[in-house]
Chains A and B, each alone.
Chain A
Amino acid sequence: MTRAAREFRPFAPRARTTIVAIVATSALVLAASAAVSIWSTGKSRNRAAVVEIAGRQRTLAERYVTQILLVRAGAQASPDRTGVLLTQSVNALLNGGQVPAVEGDDDEVVVQSETDPKIRAEIVEQRKLINDLLATGTALLAHRRTATVKQTAGEHIQTRDSLLRLRVLSALTSNVSLSSAREIAAKTDENVSNTVKLQIALGGIGVLVSLLLAWALIATTRRQTAHFRSLVTSSTDLVLVLSGNSCRYASSAVERLTGQPYSQLTGRGILRVIHEDDRERFQAAQQGDAKELVFRMRNAAGDWRHLEAHLTDLRADRHVRGIVLNSRDITERVRLEQELTRQAQRDNFGSQLVEALEMADDEGSAYDVVRRAMVEIDEQTPMELLLSDSSRAHLDQTAVHPYAGAPSCPVDSPYSCVAVRRGHPVVFETSEALNACPKLRDREQGPCSAVCVPISFMGRSLGVLHATGPEGAPPTKEQVAQLTTLATQSGARIGTVRAFEKTQLQAQTDGLTGLINRRTLETELRDLMRTGRPFALALADLDHFKRLNDTHGHEEGDRSLRLFSHVVRQVLRDDDFVARWGGEEFLIALPDADAVAAVEVMERIRGNLARTLDGGQVRFTASFGITDSTAAPSLQELIQLADVGLYLSKASGRDRVSIGEWSETREALGAANGAKRAPALHRAAAEDEPSPD
């Protein structure tokens, strides 16, 4: 059967119970002693008077004989009175009561009845003898024969001499009185002796019980002390008692934590394990200037542990005489707090970065944000952002740390970078390690540490964010985390911008030729017209394009369109516009040019096209219609005029340049139809591909 463990109650007031028991025992012993004293005193009360009366009986017996003799001799005496005194006295001794006074000798006194059987028997014997004495005395005075007086006390007086009989009875009475007096005195002495013995016994018992209880108190106190010692020594809380500039006590937990012996921790030695930056505050706390204190203490492994201490000023407490510093290890909590702080900083950095990148509407702005973020991460660490171009085959340095410069990684393609291949950040402690990236070696700045964070968007690698540091001291975990955030966010933003730009480009350009499309050009032309900037407009059309398609296939047709676009782009200036207007038609805008200048440019295009086609490709020609912004107030009319010019070129045999005029339009269309029929004519001419040639 398993016995239940007794409850551990170190603060149970056992000592109080024991002290109460000691006090109660002492009180009990004192009370018993007092009771014995009272009882003994009560028993001994008037014992002296009793002894005196018992002894007085002897004198009275002798006096009685003397008075008998005096009376017989004719003198004045009162033997009867003496006989009464004898009788009353012996009765009082036996049964208690008032003992009469002997005139001129002593006073009346009240005595208690005798309780001792032996003494009572003696007193009874004495009373019998007194009776015999008085009877004999009375007979003697009455001149009667004393021998006939009955002897009631067992005496056997054989003499017939009455006076001698009287004297013998007096002697017996006297002797018995003396004997009883001695007995009473001896009994009183015995009572006193017994009382003293009892008092001694009670005192001894009291002392013994008190000693036992004191022993129990000591044992209890030791047990409680042991309990407290166990609690203190097994506690992980660190307890120091500080006094002045020294440490008076260090708990076992401090010894365990620091690995220092007790003697090294007390005195001023405690400061050796306190962090240098915390010593001033610790010493101030020693002077009672602080209630709470957070400081660092070096443990046995040499690491600094953060301790949170509560200080209690017990200098006025005579049991302590110092400041009690009760501390506990909060290193883990501090670490978590620091981690949370770093996390918050990371989150803050990340959120700020995201906001900044959201405001970057193009790659350049995004790179600018990246540069500022690099400074935010660290002002001294060289960093660079290497991104692939549209071909995804080459890495270009797109952003460099504005203050620390670029690490200048020689990697030239995304898949030459180990971080890109692995898809996660790579940290190199030293470029000299066997497993270090080979591109870190042989750099101008010598051996270094490095961090490479791949950048991707939608699962596709964009490049790498690269940072270097001194050899053996790579960027911290926090910096690596920030670099990772920067790589992630910047990759997402740049990827988004690129995707947007690509989409926008696709919306603005013609997919086949790469030229801007009709809508884009219209926008540009409206901008020119709104600003009043002069421009020339040319509408170009490949001659017999339908037949080229039918004869050589659509691929050759598409190639012809791309070739023509290329020739046009070669001739035009950078700020000129050319758009695929539809099918095999192209609209060309030449800012700051008039129709005459435009004719010259178109002729150059036509010539370049002819020379380009000399290489053996399928030959084709183009017709051009020209106008400029001075010819009409609206874009629609200008295009109609260019279309008229194109019609004229087509009508004139193709492969030429013509300026569109309103009059020619009317001539071509007839006055009745009006200018607004020009596009329709143009379409008719275009559709009539096979007929003229």
Chain B
Amino acid sequence: MTDIGGVRKPPVIACAVLFGLALIVAALFSRPSAGAARATTKTPSVVRVVERDFHISVVHGHLTAGTVVFRVTNRGPDEHEFIVVRADHGLPMRPDGITLDEHALEKNIAGSIEPAPAGQTNTLRVTLKSGRYALVCNMFGHYMGGMHAPLVVR
């Protein structure tokens, strides 16, 4: 059999030009990248908190104002909740003298995590202003049992 026309090579130059144009168009019409956005936003502080019967450990004791991410791990064996409450003026107690008056502290509570079983790690993202804060577990007797830790935000 005779190949009359021979094999035609693809137009390499034309393909390269088209590819370049495509890159340009993509650059013009694409959204700003996440990296660019992050470049203009402050990275939140990450605070690692460990709860156990009946103590709260905080790795970073001093933070700058802004978004703070708490990674709370309950080492148990009991359930524990996690409350971040502003404590510039002390923490009021309920009449029983054992638990904090959360109703009175409602405006001061920056955020909380519902009681979690032992072994669970939860994250709480809050925005903290400068001031003194307390990290507490206000389950019955836990606060008075020693489950509270101070936190200063500058």
Interchain Cβ contacts under 8 Å between A and B, 28 examples: A118-B76, A118-B77, A118-B118, A121-B76, A122-B76, A124-B77, A153-B53, A154-B52, A155-B53, A155-B145, A156-B54, A156-B145, A157-B145, A159-B144, A167-B97, A167-B98, A168-B98, A168-B141, A168-B145, A171-B145, A172-B140, A172-B142, A172-B145, A174-B140, A176-B53, A176-B78, A178-B140, A179-B79
Contacts of A121 in B (CB 8 A): 76-77, 118
Contacts of B55 in A (CB 8 A): 154, 156
Contacts of A183 in B (CB 8 A): 117
Contacts of A176 in B (CB 8 A): 53, 78
User: Which of the residues B54, B76, B118 comes within 8 Å of A153, measured between beta carbons?
Assistant: B54
The 4 A-B residue pairs whose C-beta atoms are closest, nearest first, are A156-B146, A171-B141, A121-B77, A172-B141
Complex contact A118–B117 (CB within 8 A): yes
Per-position contact with B for A156-195: 1 when CB-CB < 8 Å, else 0?
A: 1111000010011111101110110001000000000000
Q: How many residues of B contact A (CB 8 A)?
A: 20
Complex contact A125–B77 (CB within 8 A): yes
Given contacts A155-B53, A156-B54, contact A175 B144 (CB under 8 A): no
Closest chain A residue, CB of each to CB of B53: A154
Closest chain A residue, CB of each to CB of B139: A175
Per-position contact with A for B113-154: 1 when CB-CB < 8 Å, else 0?
A: 000011100000000000000000001111011100000000
The smallest beta-carbon distance between A151 and chain B, in angstroms, is 9
Contacts of A155 in B (CB 8 A): 53-54, 145-146
Q: A122-B76, A125-B53 are in contact. List 12 more A-B contacts (CB 8 A).
A: A154-B53, A154-B55, A155-B54, A157-B144, A159-B144, A168-B141, A168-B145, A171-B98, A174-B140, A175-B139, A175-B141, A179-B78
Contacts of A171 in B (CB 8 A): 98, 140-141, 144-145
Closest chain A residue, CB of each to CB of B76: A121
Contacts of A174 in B (CB 8 A): 140-141
Per-position contact with A for B52-89: 1 when CB-CB < 8 Å, else 0?
A: 11110000000000000000000011110000000000
Complex contact B146–A175 (CB within 8 A): no
Interface size class of A (residues with CB under 8 A): 20 to 34
The smallest beta-carbon distance between A187 and chain B, in angstroms, is 11
The smallest beta-carbon distance between B148 and chain A, in angstroms, is 9
Complex contact B97–A175 (CB within 8 A): no
Complex contact B118–A168 (CB within 8 A): no
Rounded to whole angstroms, the CA-CA distance of A179 and B154 in the bound complex is: 37
Contacts of B76 in A (CB 8 A): 118, 121-122
Rounded to whole angstroms, the CA-CA distance of A172 and B78 in the bound complex is: 10
Contacts of A124 in B (CB 8 A): 77
Contacts of A122 in B (CB 8 A): 76-78
Rounded to whole angstroms, the CA-CA distance of A170 and B145 in the bound complex is: 10
The smallest beta-carbon distance between B149 and chain A, in angstroms, is 11
Contacts of A158 in B (CB 8 A): 146
The smallest beta-carbon distance between B83 and chain A, in angstroms, is 16
Closest chain A residue, CB of each to CB of B80: A179
Contacts of A167 in B (CB 8 A): 97-98
Q: B-side binding surface: helix, strand, loop or mixed?
A: loop
User: Which of the residues A118, A153, A164, A179 comes within 8 Å of B144, measured between beta carbons?
Assistant: A164
Closest chain B residue, CB of each to CB of A186: B117
Given contacts A156-B146, A159-B144, contact A172 B54 (CB under 8 A): yes
Complex contact B140–A175 (CB within 8 A): yes
Closest chain A residue, CB of each to CB of B99: A171
Contacts of A178 in B (CB 8 A): 140
Contacts of B53 in A (CB 8 A): 125, 153-155, 176
Rounded to whole angstroms, the CA-CA distance of A153 and B144 in the bound complex is: 14
Q: Name which of B98, B117, B141 has the most chain A CB atoms within 10 A of its CB.
A: B141
Closest chain A residue, CB of each to CB of B118: A118
User: Which of the residues A154, A159, A164 comes within 8 Å of B54, measured between beta carbons?
Assistant: A154
Closest chain B residue, CB of each to CB of A178: B140
Rounded to whole angstroms, the CA-CA distance of A477 and B67 in the bound complex is: 125
Complex contact B144–A168 (CB within 8 A): yes
Rounded to whole angstroms, the CA-CA distance of A178 and B79 in the bound complex is: 10
Per-position contact with A for B30-68: 1 when CB-CB < 8 Å, else 0?
A: 000000000000000000000011110000000000000
The smallest beta-carbon distance between A549 and chain B, in angstroms, is 123
The smallest beta-carbon distance between B145 and chain A, in angstroms, is 4
Complex contact A164–B97 (CB within 8 A): yes
Per-position contact with A for B79-117: 1 when CB-CB < 8 Å, else 0?
A: 100000000000000000110000000000000000001
Per-position contact with B for A112-127: 1 when CB-CB < 8 Å, else 0?
A: 0000001001101100
Closest chain B residue, CB of each to CB of A173: B141
Rounded to whole angstroms, the CA-CA distance of A417 and B78 in the bound complex is: 136
Contacts of A164 in B (CB 8 A): 97-98, 144
Rounded to whole angstroms, the CA-CA distance of A358 and B69 in the bound complex is: 141
Rounded to whole angstroms, the CA-CA distance of A43 and B140 in the bound complex is: 31
Complex contact A175–B77 (CB within 8 A): no
The smallest beta-carbon distance between A93 and chain B, in angstroms, is 14
Rounded to whole angstroms, the CA-CA distance of A122 and B31 in the bound complex is: 53
Rounded to whole angstroms, the CA-CA distance of A158 and B144 in the bound complex is: 8
Rounded to whole angstroms, the CA-CA distance of A159 and B145 in the bound complex is: 10
A window 478-511: CB within 8 A of B: none
Closest chain A residue, CB of each to CB of B145: A155
Rounded to whole angstroms, the CA-CA distance of A471 and B126 in the bound complex is: 128
Per-position contact with B for A379-396: 1 when CB-CB < 8 Å, else 0?
A: 000000000000000000
The smallest beta-carbon distance between A502 and chain B, in angstroms, is 104
Closest chain B residue, CB of each to CB of A171: B141
User: Which of the residues B78, B97, B140, B146 comes within 8 Å of A125, measured between beta carbons?
Assistant: B78
Closest chain A residue, CB of each to CB of B98: A171
Rounded to whole angstroms, the CA-CA distance of A156 and B142 in the bound complex is: 9
Rounded to whole angstroms, the CA-CA distance of A171 and B97 in the bound complex is: 11
Contacts of A157 in B (CB 8 A): 144-146
Given contacts A156-B54, A157-B145, A159-B144, contact A175 B78 (CB under 8 A): yes
The smallest beta-carbon distance between A127 and chain B, in angstroms, is 11
Contacts of B52 in A (CB 8 A): 154
Rounded to whole angstroms, the CA-CA distance of A176 and B80 in the bound complex is: 10
Rounded to whole angstroms, the CA-CA distance of A507 and B140 in the bound complex is: 163
The smallest beta-carbon distance between A170 and chain B, in angstroms, is 8
Complex contact A175–B118 (CB within 8 A): no
Rounded to whole angstroms, the CA-CA distance of A121 and B54 in the bound complex is: 14
The smallest beta-carbon distance between B73 and chain A, in angstroms, is 15
Rounded to whole angstroms, the CA-CA distance of A153 and B79 in the bound complex is: 15
A window 121-154: CB within 8 A of B: 121-122, 124-125, 153-154
The smallest beta-carbon distance between B136 and chain A, in angstroms, is 13
Rounded to whole angstroms, the CA-CA distance of A571 and B30 in the bound complex is: 165
Rounded to whole angstroms, the CA-CA distance of A153 and B142 in the bound complex is: 12
Contacts of A168 in B (CB 8 A): 98, 141, 144-145
Closest chain A residue, CB of each to CB of B119: A118
Closest chain B residue, CB of each to CB of A123: B77
Rounded to whole angstroms, the CA-CA distance of A155 and B79 in the bound complex is: 14
Closest chain A residue, CB of each to CB of B79: A179
Rounded to whole angstroms, the CA-CA distance of A619 and B79 in the bound complex is: 180
Rounded to whole angstroms, the CA-CA distance of A159 and B117 in the bound complex is: 27
Rounded to whole angstroms, the CA-CA distance of A125 and B76 in the bound complex is: 9
Rounded to whole angstroms, the CA-CA distance of A158 and B52 in the bound complex is: 17
Contacts of A153 in B (CB 8 A): 53-54
Contacts of A125 in B (CB 8 A): 53, 77-78
The smallest beta-carbon distance between B58 and chain A, in angstroms, is 15
Rounded to whole angstroms, the CA-CA distance of A156 and B77 in the bound complex is: 16
